[in-house]
Amino acid sequence: MGEAIVVTSGKGGVGKTTSTANIGTALALLGKKVCLVDTDIGLRNLDVVMGLDNRIIFDIVDIATGNCRIEQALIKDKRFDQLYMIAAAQTKDKLALSTSAMQAIVHKLKMDFDYVLIDCPAGIEHGFRVAITGADQAIVVTTPEQAAVRDADRVIGLLEAEKIPPAKLIINRIRPHMVKNGEMLDIDDIISVLSLDLLGIVPDDEQVIKNANQGEPTVVKPDSKASQAYRNIARRIIGDPVPLMNLQEQSGFFKRMKKMMGLG
């Protein structure tokens, strides 16, 4: 029996889909059998980030309505044999998927996969409620911005109310030089507000945007900093005690910045 993990944030645009794609791919890299599920019905884009948009035949609403079997809607990744995804429907709206249907789908997927990663839509309405049902764990993604942290806090409260075990936190798009200058929220500040365990921090990396546009998750390119961050997160998920990248990553980054400025 696998584990279902929902990736959520409350606020839109903080990197839920990018994180889902990258963590899923990183888990597949570690030899796990992974299924990514896009629940952002009407605004699907996990398939685009994964570069699988041209392979969609059936989607999650087709499974829910009985149009097809789960196996038919599973899209196999073009890079990894162990990686699959289920796309969201683009022409329906959020109400097309009920919590009970979602629960049944997730339960069935958990039988076949080690990890089921659920990409949650932004917001806290029906789509959010559907995405979190059936999840055993939650990952909350936030960025070092007040608005994102506040939305994350709201979502954590809702997850607690749904009796989902304490979520793990990913702080995305950190710009170390801005944090250093006090222009961006500090990691410790964010953790002190949200009081969650930190699963990882991901530096802001232009490579991520470039790769997402090419339909290629960043983790497949081992050279970028963000790629390393996502690989570490995946290792922590499978229980590997990767030393807390928090400080290490930061110091590494600072060193690089200093070198760039000729100080190192």
Interface contacts to another protein, rule CB under 8 A? 146, 150-151, 153-154, 156-158, 160, 192-195
CB of 6 to another protein, least distance (A): 18
Burial 9-29 (b: 16+ CB within 10 A, else e): bbbeebbbbbbbbbbbbbbbb
DSSP structural state of residue 132: H
For another protein, which is the closer residue by CB, 48 or 158? 158
Q: How far is CA 203 from CA 92, 119, 132, 176, in A?
A: 35, 21, 27, 7
Rounded CA-CA distance 222/175 in Å is: 20
CB of 16 to another protein, least distance (A): 18
* CB-count exposure of residue 75 (10 Å: 0-12, 13-18, 19+): buried
For another protein, which is the closer residue by CB, 12 or 252? 12
For another protein, which is the closer residue by CB, 89 or 120? 120
Packed helices 206-213 and 225-237: angle between N→C axes, nearest 10 degrees: 80
For another protein, which is the closer residue by CB, 30 or 158? 158
CB of 123 to another protein, least distance (A): 13
For another protein, which is the closer residue by CB, 151 or 205? 151
CB of 131 to another protein, least distance (A): 18
- The torsion angles phi and psi of 118, rounded to 5 degrees, stand at -105, 120
CB of 164 to another protein, least distance (A): 14
Q: What angle do CA 57, 61, 64 make, to 5 degrees?
A: 120
Q: Are 21 and 125 in contact (CB under 8 A)?
A: no
